[in-house]
Structure 1
Amino acid sequence: MHFSLLLSLLLPGITSSYNIVDDFSGLDFFDRWDFYGNYDNLTLGDVVWLDEPTAFEQELALVNAAGNVIIKVDNFSNVPFNQKRNSVRITTQSSYDLGSLWVIDLVHLPFGCSVWPSIWTLGPDWPNGGEIDIIEGINLMPSNQYALHTTPGCIHTTPPTQTGNSTLVDCSQPSGCLVGELAPNSFQSGFAAADGGVYAAQFDYTGIFIWFWTRSNVPPSIVGSTPTSSIDLSDWGPPSASYVNTSCPIEQFFGPQKMVIDITLCGEWAGIPADYQQACAGAGPTGICYNDNVVGSGANYNDAYFEIKSVRTYTTAVPGPSAGVALGGKSNGSGSAFEIWWPWLLAGMMLTMM
C-alpha cells in the first residue's frame, strides 16, 4: 500500500496547515538578522565573522542578479600565517516558539576542505534552551547530518518511519544525537548539481522533525507556496529525522529558537586531525587544516558559499499549544501524547510488516 494512502486511511480528517510568519528573501532578506561581528570564539574556527557594514562592503553578504542571497567565505584575500579569514554569521532577531515550522530553499551549500557550514537554531541560555542542527557538514562530506543538542536526559528513540540513519542517541553528548541523511544530493557538489533543494524543520510539542528534498522531489505544497500564503504538510511524506517527545520532552529541553546561518573554517570539528585528514589529507603539504587551507590566496574557497532562495517561518494554524503530528498534522491541543502519536506509530508498524 502506498504510504500517503495508508496515512489517509489511518488519519482521516487531520489537517496540517501552517500560517506564514516571516519571509526572508530578496533585497529585504538581511533586514531582520543580526551579524555576529567578532571572531569565531564559539567553535574555535579560523574566521572572523564580519559586522554588517563590512560584510556588505566586502560582498560576503549580498543579493545576486537572480534575487538569491549569497553568504560566503572570503575567497579573494591573501591571508598571512596566524591571521583568520573573513566569513559571515547571522542570527534572526525573532525567536520562534513551539508550534513553528521553518522551510529553507537553497541552490548551493558551502563545501570544501576546512569548510564547516551550518543552518541551525539556538535556544536561550545554551545549552539549556536546546539546539537544532538542520543543515551541517564538514570538509568533503557527501551527505547532510542532523542533530539535537540538549542538557542531559534527552534521548533519541528512532520511530519506524524515519528515513534517515540514526547513530548517536544521547543528545547531551558533545556531538549531539545524530541522524544521517540517506537521500542523494543532500550536501557537497551533488546538492548544487541537482539545482539545490529544500530543507524543512517542524518544532512541536510532539517532537522535532526534519525533511530534505532534492529539487526534483520538492512537494507541490512548497513549490506552490508564496511569501504570504499558508502551507500544508500533508504531501510531505515521512521525515528524514524524527525526534519524538516520548524519550525527550520537547518543552522541557527546548525554549524559543533563533535561526543561525554561518560558515566557519577548521575549528572543533572540521579541523580535528582525524576528521580532516580522512577526506583532506592531500589538500596541502602539511596535512594541517589551517596551514593548508586558510592561509594563502583563498582561491580554494570558491565553493564556500550559501545561495539561498528563501527562508520562510510559519506557525501552526491551531490556537494554543500545537500538536503537530510528525507528518504535519495537528490536533486541538487537548489530546495526550499517546492520542496524538498512536496513528503515526501504527502506520510505521504496518509499513514494517509490508
Structure 2
Amino acid sequence: MRLSSDLRLTSAALLVASSQALAASFSLLHDYSGANFFDGWDFKDGFDDTTNGDVNYLGQSQASSSGLAVIQNNQAILKVDNSTFVPFNQKRNSVFLTTHEFFQLGSVFVFDAAHIPAGCSVWPSFWTRGPNWPSGGEIDVLENVNLATNNQMTLHTNPGCTQASGVTQLGKTSGSDCSLGANSSQGCTVVESQSNSFGSGFNTAGGGVWATQFDDSGIFVWFWTRDAVPSTVSSATDSIDPSTFGTPSAAWPSSSCNISQFFTPQQLVLDITLCGDFAGTPSVYTQTCGSPGEQANTSSCYVENVINNGSAADSFYAEAYFAINYVKVFSSGAAPLDPVVSGSSTLGLTSITDSFATGTGTAASGATSGSTKAAGSGGSGAVPLLAPGGWGAAIAAVVGALGVAALLGPL
C-alpha cells in the first residue's frame, strides 16, 4: 500500500518497548466522539490502491463539503456518495480515515456504531495496521461484504503466528494460520456467531459495540449488540477492565502468537470501499447479491451497483454509511507514537523507513516481507498489491478451498 506523504516514525520512538505487562484496568487515552470526532484523524485522498475498489477517496475538506464526513446528532457520519450519477468507467466517492497516532501494546480499542454501511457491493471495515504496513501486523475488527449477515474478525501477520486450537471464543474459526494466503491475504479468520453483527441486521438492532484488547497476553475481540452492551463498557469514561467482558467473539492468545514479535504499534482505520477484490469477486457476489440463477462475472458488482444511481431517493447506497457514537482508546500506560508528517496534512499511503522495515526492530524478527491482505509498493519489505498473487488471487483460492459460506457466515 502506498502512502503519498512522507510519513516517518523515528527509530528511537519505534525502539521504545511496545509490550506492556498485562493489566486488568486500562486508562482512557483518546475519546473520538461528538463535535471533535475528526480531530486526530487523517483522510486519504485518491483511488483505492489497497483492494482495487471502485471508489475515489476524498480528502477531509471535500468529504465534508460533499456530506461524506460530517457530524450529525452528535454522531460521526461517514458515507458513500449516494446522490451522484456515475458514468460507466468512473468511480464513486467515498472515505478512508486513519488515526494520526499509533497505539502500543497494552491498548483496548472500543468502537460504538449505531449504523454501519450495508448493501450490495459495499465493503466496510474498522481495522488496525502497523507503521510499516503490511509488515507489523493487521487486526480486522469489523469486515465483511454485500448482504452477509455475520461479521468476520481476522489477523494478518508474517509467518509464525497462528491461532491455538481449542481457544475459548464464541465465533467459529475458519483458518488458524495468520500468514495464510499471498501476502497474508487470508490470514486467520473467526466468523462471528451473532447474525446481527453485520449489515442490515446490525442496523435494525440499533447497532452495537466492539472492543479489542491488544497486549502481550494476546489479541481478543468482543462484540455486543445494542441491548447487550455491558454497563462496564457503556459507562467506561476514565478506565475499562476487559476481565469483566466475558467470553470474546474471537481470541488469539499469545501461546501460539508472540504478539510483541508480530505486531508493531497499531493505527486505527475506518473505510468504505465498493466491489474490489472481495465484494466484487464473482463467487462471493453471486452468493451474497446475485439474482436467482445468475452467475456473476468480474463486472457484475460494478455494473449493477456503482454506476448510474443518480437519485438519493432510490440510490443503492442510501444505507452505505457509518453512524459512529465514539471510538475510544484505553491504555495500560504506554503513550501513543506520534509520526512526523511533512508536506500536506492529509495522510496518504506510503511505506515507512524505520527499524522494523530494516529488520532491526522486534516485530521484524524472523519475519518475511509482504504479510497482509493487501500490500503496497515502496519501502523495505513492502509487496505490491497489484503483483501476481495479490488480493484477488488469494480470495479466489480461499473461496475454492473453503467455500463462500465459510468466509461470509450464514446468510
Q: TM-score range by the shorter chain?
A: 0.7 to 0.9
Equivalent positions of 1:245-256 (< 5 A) are 245-256=254-265
Structure 2 counterpart SS, 1:256: coil
In structure 2, the CA distance between the partners of 1:112 and 1:283, relative to structure 1 (3 Å rule), is farther
> Among residues 209, 226, 239, which one is paired with 2:220 in the alignment?
209
Show the counterpart of 2:24. 16
Show the counterpart of 1:266. 275
> Among residues 38, 43, 55, which one is paired with 1:47 in the alignment?
55
Check if 1:296 corresponds to 2:308.
Answer: yes
Check if 1:186 corresponds to 2:207.
Answer: no
In structure 2, the CA distance between the partners of 1:294 and 1:265, relative to structure 1 (3 Å rule), is same
Show the counterpart of 1:30. 38
Structure 2 counterpart SS, 1:268: helix
Show the counterpart of 1:5. none
Equivalent positions of 1:62-211 (< 5 A) are 62-64=70-72, 66-173=73-180, 174-211=185-222
What one-letter code is carried by the residue in structure 2 that aligns with 1:183? Q
Q: Is the 8 A contact 1:158 1:166 kept in 2?
A: no
> Among residues 244, 257, 260, which one is paired with 1:235 in the alignment?
244
In structure 2, the CA distance between the partners of 1:284 and 1:24, relative to structure 1 (3 Å rule), is farther
Show the counterpart of 2:69. 61
What one-letter code is carried by the residue in structure 1 that aligns with 2:220? F
CA distance in 1, matches of 2:192, 2:276: 23
CA distance in 2, matches of 1:314, 1:201: 10
In structure 2, the CA distance between the partners of 1:286 and 1:60, relative to structure 1 (3 Å rule), is farther
TM-score by length of 1: 0.82
TM-score by length of 2: 0.71
Q: CA deviation at 1:163?
A: 1.1
Show the counterpart of 1:282. 291
What one-letter code is carried by the residue in structure 2 that aligns with 1:21? L
Q: Is the 8 A contact 2:102 2:131 kept in 1?
A: no
CA distance in 2, matches of 1:175, 1:162: 20
Q: Is the 8 A contact 1:284 1:293 kept in 2?
A: no
Render the CA deviation track for 1:34-86: whole Å, top value 9, x for unaligned: 0000110111000001011100010000011x211100000000000000000
Q: What is the root-mean-square deviation in Å for CA atoms of aligned residues?
A: 1.9
Q: CA deviation at 1:247?
A: 1.4
In structure 2, the CA distance between the partners of 1:284 and 1:33, relative to structure 1 (3 Å rule), is farther
Render the CA deviation track for 1:286-311: whole Å, top value 9, x for unaligned: 94110110001150001111110000
Q: CA deviation at 1:160?
A: 3.7
Q: Following superposition, which runs of at least 4 residues in structure 1 exceed 3 angstroms of deviation? A: 283-287
Q: CA deviation at 1:316?
A: 1.3
Q: Percent identity?
A: 49
**Could you say which structure has the greater relative contact order, defined with CA pairs below 8 angstroms and 6 or more residues apart?**
2
Number of equivalenced pairs: 303
| Residue segments in structure 2 that go unaligned for 5+ positions in a row | 1-21, 336-411
In structure 2, the CA distance between the partners of 1:291 and 1:238, relative to structure 1 (3 Å rule), is same
CA distance in 2, matches of 1:46, 1:284: 25
Q: CA deviation at 1:262?
A: 0.1
CA distance in 2, matches of 1:310, 1:283: 39
Check if 1:221 corresponds to 2:237.
Answer: no
| Residue segments in structure 1 that go unaligned for 5+ positions in a row | 1-13, 320-354
